[in-house]
A = this chain, B = another copy of it.
Amino acid sequence: MLKPGPTASGGFKRINKTDKIKKMAEEIKGIFIHHVYFWLVEPGNADNKKALIDGLKKLSAVKTIQRFHIGVPANTSREVIDSTYSVSWILIFNNPADQDSYQVDPIHLRFVEECKHLWSRVQVYDTIDV
Question: How many chain copies does the complex carry?
Answer: 2
B68 touches A28 (CB 8 A): yes
How far is B67's CA from A68's CA once the two chains are assembled, in angstroms? 15
Residue of B nearest to A69 (CB): B28
Cross-interface CB contact of A73 among B17, B25, B123, B126, cutoff 8 Å: B126
| A120 part of interface (Cβ distance < 8 Å) | no
Q: Within 8 Å CB of A75, what residues of B?
A: 96, 128
Q: Within 8 Å CB of A9, what residues of B?
A: 14-15, 17
How far is B23's CA from A81's CA once the two chains are assembled, in angstroms? 36
Q: List 5 A-B contacts (CB under 8 A).
A: A12-B12, A14-B14, A25-B66, A74-B96, A80-B124
A82 and B127 in contact, given A10-B15, A14-B9 (Cβ under 8 angstroms):
no
